[in-house]
C-alpha cells in the first residue's frame, strides 16, 4: 500500500486535545506529534515516505487497513519558514495494540544522524494529544483490556501483547477479598477501596495518563503508563511514601524493567516463628562500628572495585574483595589471579586497616576464614536471591554496618525475614548456608513490627572460607599495605572531577566565565605580572583567566583535565565578558590550551615565569597528589617565578559551616538543555527541572595549604618560599615564589 503525505498549513486552532486519561481508547483517535529543528519539512516527508508500512490494527474494526490506502495517509502541518512541524497520524497507524508509527520511527531515528535535522541530532517526537472527537461507540466485542485475567503463568505473554505501554502492578492492597471486576464493567469503573486508591494514585502520583487493570486474583492492580521514565518516576514516588497511609507497599520491576510490581511488604513479625537450622544472629556483636563504617564511606576510599560484570549486566552496588576476588560471571572465586576485576588485596588483619579489628574477632573463633567481600548498599539497592557458590565452604558470616535492612530467606514456599541492624552479626552454616537462599529486596523501606523503617546507607562485611574443588581450605593471603597511591588517578577523582566537569561543562561556562566571575585576588596577581611573561594556568577550565594574562602583555598557556571545558575556551557565541576581552586583545582566535593532568604537566622545566592554580588543589584527594601538583608547578617555573594558589576553605563566611567535613561532595545543578548528549548524571538526581551533579572536593583548613607547600621540598635545585597567605571569600590562598636552593660551601 502506498503511503501519501500531504504538507498543509497549520489550522487556526489546534485540532487536538491532551490525551484523555479516562478514555479506554486513548490512542484510537488521530494522534498529533511535533518535531522540531528540522532543516526542511521536505526532508521529513522524504524520510517518512521511505519507511516500511505499518502493521494493520487488529482492534480497530473500521481500519481494514491492509486494503485501504487512506489508512497510511499522514498529514504534516507546517508554517512557512518555521523549523518545526506537527504530524497527524491516523488511528490505524497508531493504535495502542500495534507498534505505533511513532515508536518505530523513534527506534529507527534514535541512533542519530537524521540528516533533515539542523544539527544532525536524532528526531525528537513530542506527543501533543489526540483529536477531540466524540468517543466511539464501544465495539460489540470488548477490547482486550476487559478480557478475563489469565492464569499467572500466562501473564508475561498477556503483558507482551500490550506493547507499547509500560505497566505498574500493585499487589497486596488492604481489604483482600473484594471483587471489583463485574462482568459488565470496563476497567475504568471501580468500587470500594480500590476506587479511593485510584483517585489517590492520580493525585499523589500526578498521573496524566494511565490505565488501570485489575486481575481477578484481586491482590494486585496494574497501571499502564506511557513510558519507562514515567514508570520509574512513579515507582520512586511510591517507594518514598507518596501513597500514605499505604506505606507498606513494595515496588519492583518485572519483565525487562518495563513493568513495576507494587505489593504490600510482608512484616518481619509474620515469620518470627520460622526456624532455620544453622542461622545464628548475634545483636550488637560489634559495639562501635564507626571506624569501619567511616573508612568505607569516605569519598576518598580508593579500594572500591570498578564495576564487575555479572550475568546479564553489571553489579550496581559497590564491592571490594579481600583475600580472594569473586567473579560474578563464573560464580566462583578467581583461582588464578589474571589481573581481572579490581586490584587483588590480601585480607587485612590486626592493625593493617582501621576495620581489621572485625576480621580479628571473626578469625579468633573461625581461623579458616580467608575471604571478605565488602558490599555497599545505598537505599534502594539490594542483592538477588542466591545460595553462595560452592567455591566457599562454611561458615558464612556477615557483619552489618550502618543502616538497618531486612534480609529474606527462602526455601521453596517457606520464608523468613531477618532484621539486621548496625553491629549485628549473622552466621550461616548447614541448612541456612546450603539449602536456604538469601537476598535483599531492592527497595527504599522495610516493614518491621508494623513500622515502616527507611533504609539508610549500609556496608556489609561478608566473611567466607574459600576452598579448592576438593573442599580444602585455600591458603590465607596476607595483606600488604599499599603506599598511598599517588600514581593512578583515584576513582573518586575520575568520577567526581574529570567526568563531572566533562558533563557540566556548558552550564559551568555559562554561570561563571560568560558572566566574568573571576577571583579579584587572582586578577590583581595577573595585573602585576611583568610584561612578556609566559604564564601557566594550571587547571584553567574554560580559560577564564587567559584574557587577563594576554591583556597584560603576557603569553598564557592553560592546562586542564576536562576536554569539554577546554573546548569552550574563547568560544564565540553571544556577547559575554570573556569573549569581549579576547577580542580586545586580538588573541580572539584560539586561546592556547592543552588537555593535561596537573600532576604531569607537559611543560618544559623552568619554562614559565608565573603560574596560577585556582580551585584545583581542592580536587586532589590525597596528600601525595597535592604535593605532586605543587612539585610539578615548581618544576616548570624558573627561579624567581611566582604562583597564586587558591582552594576552597572549610571555614566559610561569618563562621558559618557550609561543609560537613573536609571530604565532601558538592552538588551543582544543571538545566537539562545543557546536557543533551551527555548521558545521565554523576550521582545525579532530579530537582524539579534541574539535574544535580556531585563534584568531589577536599576543603582546606587554616594552615593546611602552607603545610602542603612545605612538604614539596626541593625540585631541580629549586624550592618554594611563601610570600603571602590568607583567607578571602571562602578560599584559602598562598602566594609562593620559586627560589634557588643555596648550595652549601
Min. distance of Cβ 696 from another protein in angstroms? 17
Instruction: Give the three-state DSSP class for 412.
Output: coil
Min. distance of Cβ 358 from another protein in angstroms? 31
Residue 487 engages another protein in binding (rule: CB under 8 A): yes
Stretch that binds another protein, among 211-219, 366-374, 420-428, 585-593 (CB under 8 A): 585-593
Min. distance of Cβ 596 from another protein in angstroms? 4
Residue 502 engages another protein in binding (rule: CB under 8 A): no
Residue 609 engages another protein in binding (rule: CB under 8 A): yes
Instruction: Give the three-state DSSP class for 31.
Output: strand
| Pick 180 or 526: Cβ nearer another protein | 526
Q: Are 578 and 544 in contact (CB under 8 A)?
A: yes
Instruction: Give φ, ψ of 212 to 5 degrees.
Output: -115, 135
Residue 596 engages another protein in binding (rule: CB under 8 A): yes
**Alpha-carbon distance 231 to 524, whole Å?**
54
| Pick 406 or 534: Cβ nearer another protein | 534
Stretch that binds another protein, among 384-392, 420-428, 560-568, 730-738 (CB under 8 A): 560-568
Residue 608 engages another protein in binding (rule: CB under 8 A): yes
550: its cell numbers = 594576554
Q: Are 233 and 200 in contact (CB under 8 A)?
A: no
Residue 532 engages another protein in binding (rule: CB under 8 A): yes
Residue 593 engages another protein in binding (rule: CB under 8 A): yes
Reading across the β-sheet that carries 414-420, which strands appear in turn?
383-386, 437-440, 405-411, 414-420
Residue 339 engages another protein in binding (rule: CB under 8 A): no
**Alpha-carbon distance 536 to 556, whole Å?**
6
**Alpha-carbon distance 75 to 84, whole Å?**
14
Residue 489 engages another protein in binding (rule: CB under 8 A): yes
Element (H, E) at 293: helix 290-297
Residue 603 engages another protein in binding (rule: CB under 8 A): yes
Stretch that binds another protein, among 91-99, 332-340, 582-590, 703-711 (CB under 8 A): 582-590
Tell me, by CB under 8 A, how many residues bind another protein.
35
| Pick 561 or 697: Cβ nearer another protein | 561
Stretch that binds another protein, among 233-241, 380-388, 602-610, 672-680 (CB under 8 A): 602-610
307, exposed or middle or buried, with CB in 10 Å at 0-12, 13-18, 19+?
middle
Give, as ranges, the residues between 442 and 461 that touch another protein (CB under 8 A): none
**Binding-site member from 557, 610, 630, 691 for another protein (CB under 8 A):** 557
Stretch that binds another protein, among 219-227, 383-391, 408-416, 562-570 (CB under 8 A): 562-570
Strand partners of residue 166 = 225
Min. distance of Cβ 537 from another protein in angstroms? 12
Residue 567 engages another protein in binding (rule: CB under 8 A): yes
**Binding-site member from 81, 586, 654, 742 for another protein (CB under 8 A):** 586
85: its cell numbers = 512541524
Contacts 24+ apart (CB under 8 A), 475-478: 475/370, 476/323, 476/347, 476/370, 477/323, 477/324, 477/344, 477/346, 477/347, 477/370, 478/346, 478/347, 478/349
Min. distance of Cβ 23 from another protein in angstroms? 53
Min. distance of Cβ 561 from another protein in angstroms? 7
Residue 488 engages another protein in binding (rule: CB under 8 A): yes
Residue 483 engages another protein in binding (rule: CB under 8 A): no
343, exposed or middle or buried, with CB in 10 Å at 0-12, 13-18, 19+?
middle
Q: Are 394 and 465 in contact (CB under 8 A)?
A: yes
Stretch that binds another protein, among 130-138, 155-163, 333-341, 558-566 (CB under 8 A): 558-566
Instruction: Give φ, ψ of 102 to 5 degrees.
Output: -65, -45
Residue 739 engages another protein in binding (rule: CB under 8 A): no
**Binding-site member from 160, 594, 714, 739 for another protein (CB under 8 A):** 594
**Alpha-carbon distance 727 to 356, whole Å?**
40
Residue 589 engages another protein in binding (rule: CB under 8 A): yes
Min. distance of Cβ 620 from another protein in angstroms? 15
Cα–Cα distance list, 312 to 229, 316, 385 (Å) = 21, 12, 15
Cα–Cα distance list, 263 to 4, 177, 266 (Å) = 48, 15, 9
Residue 579 engages another protein in binding (rule: CB under 8 A): no
| Pick 125 or 555: Cβ nearer another protein | 555
Min. distance of Cβ 429 from another protein in angstroms? 42
**Binding-site member from 325, 447, 566, 616 for another protein (CB under 8 A):** 566
Stretch that binds another protein, among 236-244, 285-293, 465-473, 487-495 (CB under 8 A): 487-495
Stretch that binds another protein, among 32-40, 142-150, 441-449, 485-493 (CB under 8 A): 485-493
**Alpha-carbon distance 142 to 59, whole Å?**
9
Residue 565 engages another protein in binding (rule: CB under 8 A): no
Q: Are 425 and 398 in contact (CB under 8 A)?
A: yes
What single-letter DSSP state applies at residue 331? T
Q: Are 437 and 276 in contact (CB under 8 A)?
A: no
Task: Return the number of other C-beta atoms located less than 10 Å from residue 10's C-beta.
Answer: 14
| Pick 532 or 727: Cβ nearer another protein | 532
Min. distance of Cβ 597 from another protein in angstroms? 6
**Alpha-carbon distance 681 to 486, whole Å?**
27
| Pick 189 or 605: Cβ nearer another protein | 605
Cα–Cα distance list, 543 to 8, 107, 125, 508, 549 (Å) = 49, 40, 37, 12, 10
The residue whose grid cell reads 582546606 is 700
| Pick 220 or 498: Cβ nearer another protein | 498
Residue 60 engages another protein in binding (rule: CB under 8 A): no
Residue 272 engages another protein in binding (rule: CB under 8 A): no
Query: Helices marked H in 79-152 — which ranges?
Result: 101-109
Residue 607 engages another protein in binding (rule: CB under 8 A): yes
Q: Are 371 and 467 in contact (CB under 8 A)?
A: no
For binding to another protein (CB under 8 A), which residues are involved?
Answer: 487-489, 531-532, 534, 550, 553, 555, 557, 559, 561, 563, 566-567, 585-587, 589-590, 592-597, 600-605, 607-609
Amino acid at each position: 500500500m502506498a503511503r501519501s503525505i500531504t504538507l498543509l498549513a497549520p489550522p487556526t486552532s489546534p485540532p487536538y486535545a491532551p490525551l484523555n486519561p479516562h478514555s479506554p481508547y486513548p490512542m484510537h483517535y488521530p494522534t498529533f506529534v511535533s518535531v522540531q529543528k528540522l532543516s526542511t519539512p521536505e526532508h521529513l516527508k522524504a524520510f517518512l515516505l521511505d519507511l516500511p508500512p505499518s502493521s494493520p490494527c487488529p482492534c480497530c474494526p473500521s481500519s481494514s487497513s491492509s486494503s485501504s490506502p487512506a489508512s497510511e495517509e499522514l498529514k504534516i502541518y507546517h508554517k512557512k519558514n518555521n523549523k518545526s512541524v506537527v504530524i497527524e497520524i491516523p488511528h490505524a497507524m497508531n493504535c495502542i495494540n500495534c507498534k505505533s508509527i511513532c515508536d518505530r520511527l523513534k527506534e529507527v531515528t534514535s541512533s542519530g544522524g537524521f540528516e533533515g535535522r539542523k544539527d544532525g541530532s536524532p528526531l525528537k517526537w513530542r506527543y501533543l494529544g489526540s483529536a477531540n472527537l466524540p468517543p466511539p461507540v464501544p465495539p460489540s466485542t470488548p477490547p482486550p483490556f476487559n478480557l478475563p485475567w489469565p492464569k499467572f503463568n500466562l501473564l508475561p505473554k498477556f503483558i507482551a501483547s500490550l506493547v507499547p505501554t509500560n505497566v505498574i502492578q500493585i499487589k497486596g492492597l488492604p481489604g483482600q477479598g473484594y471483587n471489583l471486576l463485574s462482568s459488565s464493567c470496563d476497567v475504568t469503573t471501580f468500587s470500594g477501596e480500590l476506587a479511593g486508591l485510584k483517585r489517590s494514585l492520580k493525585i499523589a502520583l500526578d498521573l496524566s495518563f494511565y490505565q488501570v487493570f485489575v486481575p481477578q486474583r484481586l491482590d494486585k492492580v496494574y497501571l499502564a503508563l506511557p513510558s519507562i521514565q514515567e514508570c520509574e518516576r512513579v515507582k520512586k514516588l511510591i517507594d518514598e511514601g507518596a501513597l500514605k497511609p499505604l506505606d507498606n507497599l513494595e515496588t519492583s520491576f518485572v519483565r525487562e524493567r518495563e513493568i513495576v510490581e507494587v505489593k504490600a511488604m510482608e512484616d518481619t513479625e509474620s515469620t518470627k516463628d520460622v526456624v532455620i537450622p544453622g542461622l545464628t544472629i548475634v545483636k550488637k556483636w560489634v559495639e562501635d562500628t564507626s571506624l569501619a563504617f567511616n573508612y568505607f564511606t569516605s569519598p576518598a576510599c580508593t579500594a572500591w572495585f570498578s564495576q564487575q560484570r555479572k550475568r546479564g549486566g553489571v553489579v550496581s552496588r559497590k564491592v571490594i574483595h579481600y583475600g580472594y576476588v569473586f567473579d560474578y560471571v563464573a560464580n566462583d572465586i578467581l583461582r588464578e589471579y589474571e589481573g581481572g576485576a579490581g586490584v587483588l588485596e590480601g585480607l587485612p588483619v590486626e592493625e593493617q586497616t582501621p576495620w581489621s579489628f572485625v576480621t580479628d574477632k571473626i578469625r579468633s573463633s573461625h581461623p579458616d576464614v580467608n575471604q571478605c567481600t565488602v558490599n555497599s548498599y545505598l537505599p534502594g539497592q539490594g542483592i538477588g536471591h542466591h545460595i553462595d557458590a560452592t567455591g566457599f565452604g562454611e561458615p558464612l558470616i556477615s557483619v552489618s554496618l550502618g543502616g538497618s535492612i531486612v534480609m529474606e530467606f527462602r526455601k521453596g514456599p517457606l520464608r523468613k525475614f531477618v532484621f539486621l541492624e548496625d553491629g549485628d552479626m549473622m552466621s550461616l552454616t548447614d541448612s541456612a548456608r546450603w539449602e536456604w537462599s538469601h537476598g535483599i529486596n531492592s527497595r527504599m523501606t522495610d516493614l518491621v513490627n508494623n513500622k515502616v523503617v527507611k533504609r539508610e546507607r549500609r556496608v556489609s562485611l561478608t566473611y567466607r572460607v574459600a576452598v579448592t574443588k576438593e573442599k580444602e581450605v585455600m591458603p590465607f593471603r596476607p595483606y600488604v599495605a599499599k603506599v598511598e597511591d599517588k600514581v593512578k588517578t583515584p576513582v573518586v577523582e575520575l568520577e567526581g572531577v574529570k567526568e563531572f566537569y566533562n558533563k557540566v561543562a556548558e552550564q559551568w561556562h555559562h554561570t561563571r566565565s560568560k558572566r566574568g566571575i573571576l577571583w579579584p585576588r587572582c586578577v590583581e596577581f595577573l595585573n602585576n605580572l611583568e610584561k612578556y611573561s609566559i604564564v601557566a594556568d594550571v587547571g584553567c577550565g574554560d580559560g577564564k583567566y587567559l584574557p587577563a594574562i594576554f591583556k597584560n602583555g603576557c603569553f598564557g598557556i592553560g592546562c586542564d583535565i576536562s576536554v569539554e571545558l577546554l573546548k569552550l575556551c574563547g568560544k564565540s557565541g553571544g556577547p559575554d565578558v570573556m569573549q569581549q576581552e579576547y577580542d580586545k586583545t586580538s588573541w580572539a582566535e584560539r586561546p592556547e590550551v592543552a588537555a593535561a593532568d596537573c600532576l604531569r604537566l607537559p611543560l618544559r622545566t623552568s619554562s614559565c615565569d608565573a603560574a596560577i592554580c585556582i580551585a584545583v588543589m581542592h580536587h586532589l584527594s590525597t596528600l601525595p597528589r597535592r604535593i605532586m601538583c605543587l612539585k610539578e608547578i615548581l618544576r616548570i617555573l624558573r627561579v624567581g617565578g611566582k604562583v597564586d594558589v587558591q582552594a576552597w576553605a572549610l571555614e566559610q563566611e561569618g563562621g558559618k559551616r557550609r561543609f560537613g567535613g573536609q571530604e565532601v561532595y558538592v552538588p551543582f545543578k544543571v538545566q537539562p538543555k545543557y546536557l543533551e548528549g551527555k548521558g545521565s548524571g554523576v550521582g545525579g538526581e532530579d530537582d524539579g527541572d534541574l539535574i544535580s551533579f556531585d563534584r568531589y572536593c577536599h576543603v582546606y583548613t587554616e594552615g593546611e595549604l602552607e603545610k602542603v607547600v612545605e612538604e614539596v621540598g626541593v625540585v631541580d635545585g629549586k624550592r618554594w618560599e611563601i610570600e603571602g597567605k590568607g583567607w578571602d571569600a571562602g578560599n584559602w590562598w598562598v602566594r609562593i615564589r620559586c627560589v634557588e636552593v643555596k648550595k652549601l660551601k
